[in-house]
Structure 1
Amino acid sequence: MRIAIAGGHGKVARHLSRALAARGDVPVALVRQLAHVQDVGDDGAEPVVLDLERANARDVAEAVAGADAVVFAAGAGPGSGADRKDSVDRAAAALLAEGAEQAGVRRYVLVSSMGATSAPPDGTDGVFAAYLRAKAASEEDLRARDLDWTIVRPGRLTDDEPTGTVRLDAHVPGGAVPRADVAAVLAAVLHAPLTAGLVLELTEGVVPVDAAVAAVVEPAD
């Protein structure tokens, strides 16, 4: 499979490129800066320089043409304000979907966040609340499109060593999860077409990744 990854230089995206390359897939990393080309190339990805905050849908369609799937793993990043949470976590996600539609790429996996569709608790930092609103809006936009979408909502992301085991379901208790394990789940979801149409929450757990993904599409006994 050829899979285009928006936010290709981010930590989750780089783990995903490595995981896909190890499976024999062809990851295509969409990066904002020429300075990131070498890094993502070292991950086994084909780099494409594309700034989703400056691009239009035609630019995106050209970048993802020929892909079997796209993944939105971009984010405004720490230190960014509410405006960039909206321009990246909402608007860029929608732009990727529009470009995928134009290019005829039906499969879209969105990295969202646990809590995206819930009211932020009292006292939540304003920028983080803006981030959650942006994620909720990106989910709403994607669900309204005629695409084979899957939404993955990780809990708090960490840089801990991957365990290869997770908790994955429509609803799971809040918790943390290593970025590398998120990437492993994304890679497995991309190879599980029956996950299309599912919204999945993800934290650390005890079930091996492939078994956890298989469980969400298998009917209960």
Structure 2
Amino acid sequence: MNVFIIGISGSIGRLLTRQLQARGDTVRGLVRRQEQHAELEAQGVPSQVGDLAHMDTQALVEAIGDADAIVFTAGSNGGRPDVTRAIDGDGVDKAIEAARRAGVRRFALVSVLPESWRERELGEDVEYYFAVKKGADIALSRSDLDWLILRPSLLVDEPGAGTVSLGPAAFHEQVAREDVAETLATLLHEPRMGQRILELNQGTTPIREAVQANVRER
């Protein structure tokens, strides 16, 4: 599989790259800065330098090239509203249109659990972030692509357990980024896993079994 990752220099993007390469896949991606490009090139990972917030759709089409699948892992993490809109909202819209133009059907989006941080008093910027992420989920789910939306719970940098809870609904606790990346790679390699919204949390089911338990014939 030839996979193009938008957000390849981020934590999940880098972990996903390793997971996919271990499966024999070709991985490329979009980075914002030249030093990120140089670092990935040194690791044998081709990348295209471009600012998703400012590049036009055709430039993104050219960057995607002949990919078999697109993974969108970029995110503003609840920063300034203008950045949130540009990346988490307009950026996803732009990527959906670029996928259509490039002829790429498979599109996976890393989103957020709607219940995240509901036990806290959230500021306006973070509330706006959740609203924009929800809008992106809706836009992708109403597209004609072979889409997949993965909503992980609170991301942590602990070592992956190799076991998760995965399904249409999950509790909001926490999950290791390594387990998110492995789950995402496994989902991408399951052709029957499309047009689904799945929520991901720490759990006791081995990742491959958790993915297979959610397969449905189409």
2:199 match: 201
The answer to whether the aligner puts 1:34 opposite 2:45 as a matched pair is no
The answer to whether the aligner puts 1:83 opposite 2:82 as a matched pair is yes
1:92 match: 91
Q: Any idea what the Cα deviations from partners look like across 1:95-149, whole Å, max 9, x if unmatched?
A: 1111010000000000000017x9x678322222111111101111111211000
What percent identity do the matched residue pairs reach?
35
Structure 1, gaps ≥5 residues long: none
**CA offset at residue 45 of structure 1?**
2.4
Question: Equivalents in 2 of 1:193, 1:41: separation in Å?
Answer: 29
Question: Equivalents in 2 of 1:5, 1:131: separation in Å?
Answer: 21
Question: Equivalents in 1 of 2:9, 2:105: separation in Å?
Answer: 23
- Count of residue pairs the alignment pairs up: 217
RMSD: 1.9
1:112 match: 111
Question: Equivalents in 2 of 1:40, 1:206: separation in Å?
Answer: 33
Question: Equivalents in 1 of 2:16, 2:107: separation in Å?
Answer: 15
Structure 2, gaps ≥5 residues long: none
Per the normalisation by structure 2, the TM-score is 0.93
> 2:101 is aligned with what amino acid?
Q
Runs (4+) of structure 1 exceeding 4 A deviation are: none
Question: Equivalents in 1 of 2:148, 2:48: separation in Å?
Answer: 24
Query: Which secondary structure state, in structure 1, belongs to the residue aligned with residue 125 of structure 2?
Result: helix
Contact 2:77 2:129 in 1 (8 A): no
2:72 match: 72
Contact 1:31 1:48 in 2 (8 A): yes
Change beyond 3 A, Cα 1:211–1:122: closer
1:58 match: 58
Alignment of 1:174-189 (within 5 A): 174-189=172-187
**CA offset at residue 42 of structure 1?**
4.8
Question: Equivalents in 2 of 1:98, 1:121: separation in Å?
Answer: 36
1:147 match: 145
2:12 match: 12
Question: Equivalents in 2 of 1:160, 1:42: separation in Å?
Answer: 26
Contact 1:27 1:44 in 2 (8 A): no
Query: Which secondary structure state, in structure 1, belongs to the residue aligned with residue 85 of structure 2?
Result: helix
Question: Equivalents in 2 of 1:155, 1:165: separation in Å?
Answer: 14
2:169 match: 171
Query: Which secondary structure state, in structure 2, belongs to the residue aligned with residue 193 of structure 1?
Result: coil
**CA offset at residue 43 of structure 1?**
5.0
Question: Equivalents in 2 of 1:139, 1:181: separation in Å?
Answer: 21
**CA offset at residue 84 of structure 1?**
1.1
**CA offset at residue 38 of structure 1?**
2.9
Change beyond 3 A, Cα 1:97–1:43: farther
2:45 match: 45
Change beyond 3 A, Cα 1:20–1:44: farther
Query: Which secondary structure state, in structure 2, belongs to the residue aligned with residue 195 of structure 1?
Result: coil
The answer to whether the aligner puts 1:103 opposite 2:93 as a matched pair is no
Per the normalisation by structure 1, the TM-score is 0.92
